[in-house]
A = this chain, B = another copy of it.
Amino acid sequence: MPIGKFMMSGAGSRCAACRYLRRRCSKDCIFSPHFPSSNPQRFAYVHRIYGASNVAKMLQRVSEFERSHAADSLHLEAKCRVEDPVYGCVGLISRLQRQIHNLESEIAMTRALVMMYESSLDRRKGSANGH
């Protein structure tokens, strides 16, 4: 296989980031483990929102073992921002908070119903014991 001028020497193709940035993919490329060439869109999202150098900085700020989680969460946030340029994933947070509010109201109503039944059963028991 011919090694192109942008190919990683002797180890197959470049990662999605190096391919996008049209540069050589080094053995210790910070993007390589998290942005495979098979998924160019994943890097395109984070590049569009943060820029490559900010993504690299953010990945370098966390430990090697946490980098895949950081890359995943950066990808998710960037995708949300591309899809919703006004609210990004804060839009999702607002929807989840509204859902929690609705569920809490429903729990309060259902609990009130339980208490009503309990006191009704207590009264019936009391009147049954009284006779």
A interface residues with partner B (beta carbon < 8 Å): 49-51, 53-54, 58, 61-62, 66, 69-70, 72-74, 76-77, 81, 85-93, 96-97, 99-100, 103-104, 106-107, 110-111, 113-114, 117-118, 120-121, 124
Decide if A81 touches B103 in the complex (CB within 8 Å): no
Flag if A90 contacts B76 (CB, 8 Å): yes
Check B114–A85 contact: CB distance below 8 A.
Answer: no
Contacts of A96 on B, CB cut-off 8 Å?
Answer: 93, 96-97, 100
In the complex, the count of this chain's copies comes to 2
Q: Mostly helix, strand, loop or mixed at chain A's interface?
A: helix
Contact between chains at A77 and B90 (CB < 8 Å): yes
Q: Which residues of B contact A77 (CB under 8 A)?
A: 77, 81, 88-90
| Residue pair A85, B58 in contact (C-beta under 8 Å) | yes
In the complex formed, the residue of B with least CB distance to A94 is B73
12 additional A-B residue pairs with CB within 8 Å, beyond A49-B54, A49-B58, A77-B88: A51-B51, A61-B85, A70-B86, A73-B87, A73-B91, A76-B90, A77-B81, A96-B96, A99-B100, A103-B107, A107-B107, A124-B124
